[in-house]
Amino acid sequence: MVGSGVLKEKIMKAVFFTTACISILAVGLICFFLFVNGTPAIKEIGVIQFIFGKVWRPGNGDYGILPMIVGSLYVTAGAIIIGVPVGILTAVFLARFCPEKIYPVMKAGVELMAGIPSVVYGFFGLVVLVPFVRNSIGGKGYSILTASILLGIMILPTIVNVSESAIRAVPKNYYEGSLALGATHERSVFRMVVPAAKSGIFAGVILGIGRAIGETMAVIMVAGNQPVLRAPNELLKGVCTLTANIVIEMGYAQDLHRQALIATGVVLFVFILIINISFSLIKRKAVHES
């Protein structure tokens, strides 16, 4: 029996190791494809011209993606401002304040949001958010603000689920010790439990940002898709993101145009990598200081 248990353990270790290697191999192949097919276009166009160029007109030989980079930053920043506070507070409510009778309903609602396809979110934004922004705030409705609101809603399930799990993972003696020292329930939660779970909350925020940056279909339907460099005060005007530009033009792009779109994917990959590394360093610093 002992020998059988050891054999099963070795088999499972081999299975886990194999699946981990497959995951790493898949990521490596994606990176290899992107850089092999994208870097020649960057070299031909020029790194400075490609990244900092303000005009995107492939028909005229202009391949500047700065408007798309800035557009992605605007939309992602807006989604963070809207989605992160709401997501974290919702997670705190579900973990520490939600009555047991309504918790299953609210939890099911959050999980249902995670399963809704992007195109459905896009239709919601097109039918509800675009007219609301146009009639209540101004502009044509297809704008940075509309895309930010929609992405802020879309990243909620990721942030809520990960943050709630992190809050529930905090040992009970943290909360009980705070109560024993005379703190109220609210003060114990926000001053003791939530700070203790900040590492997991950071992880949820990072995953949410990754979802916002990589979202395509919903953004295409509400952002306006205008490859124009916008100022920070032009939130009611249309914008085009990196992902949207790739999807819109890839179907008919050829030669250098197609390579430039793949190179845009390289920039997006590096962009996401930098954000993940930055947040990881911030998280490590916060954990070290605590």
Q: What is the pLDDT along the chain (290 residues), one digit of tens a residue?
A: 555 667 888 888 889 999 999 989 998 898 888 888 888 888 888 888 988 888 888 888 888 889 999 999 899 999 999 999 999 999 999 999 988 889 999 999 988 988 888 889 999 999 999 999 999 988 888 999 999 999 999 999 999 999 999 999 888 888 888 888 888 888 888 888 888 888 888 888 888 888 888 888 888 889 888 888 888 888 888 898 888 888 888 888 788 888 899 999 888 888 888 877 877 777 676 556 55
Domain 52-289 has CATH 3.40.50.800: no
User: For residue 230, which of 128, 137, 139 has the smallest C-alpha distance?
Assistant: 139
In the prediction, which pLDDT does 146 show? 93
pLDDT tens, residue by residue, 148-179: 999 999 999 999 999 999 999 888 888 888 88
Q: What pLDDT was estimated at residue 87?
A: 93
Considering only CA atoms, which of 235, 239, 216, 209 is closest in space to residue 226?
239
Contact present, 264 and 65 (Cβ < 8 Å): yes
A 10 A CB-CB count for 105 gives 9
Question: Token pair for residue 207?
Answer: 């995953």
Residue of 81, 82, 74 lying closest to 239 (CA atoms):
74
Assign 3-class secondary structure to the chain: CHHHHHHHHHHHHHHHHHHHHHHHHHHHHHHHHHHHHHHHHHHHHCHHHHHHCCCEEHHHCEECCHHHHHHHHHHHHHHHHHHHHHHHHHHHHHHHHCCCCCHHHHHHHHHHHHHCCHHHHHHHHHHHHHHHHHHHCCCCCCCHHHHHHHHHHHCHHHHHHHHHHHHHCCCHHHHHHHHHCCCCHHHHHHHHHHHHCHHHHHHHHHHHHHHHHHCCHHHHHHCECCCCCCCCCCCCCCECCHHHHHHHHHCCCCHHHHHHHHHHHHHHHHHHHHHHHHHHHHHHHHHHHC
Where residue 170 falls (left for φ over 0; alpha for ψ -120 to 50; beta otherwise) is: beta
Strands 56-57 and 62-63 come out as: antiparallel
pLDDT in tens, 56-102: 888 888 888 899 999 998 999 999 999 999 999 999 999 999 888 89
CA atoms within 13 A on the CB side of 116: 22
Question: Do 204 and 87 meet the contact criterion of CB atoms below 8 Å apart?
Answer: yes
CB count within 10 Å of CB 134 equals: 16
- Phi/psi for 62 (5° steps) reads -100, 120
**C-alpha–C-alpha distance, residues 110 and 103, integer Å:** 11
Q: What is the phi-psi region of residue 61: left when phi exceeds 0, alpha when psi lies from -120 to 50, beta otherwise?
A: left
pTM of the model as a whole? 0.84
User: For residue 256, which phi and psi values (nearest 5 degrees)?
Assistant: -65, -35
The reported pLDDT for the residue numbered 149 is 93
Question: So where are the chain's domains?
Answer: 52-289
pLDDT at 3: 59
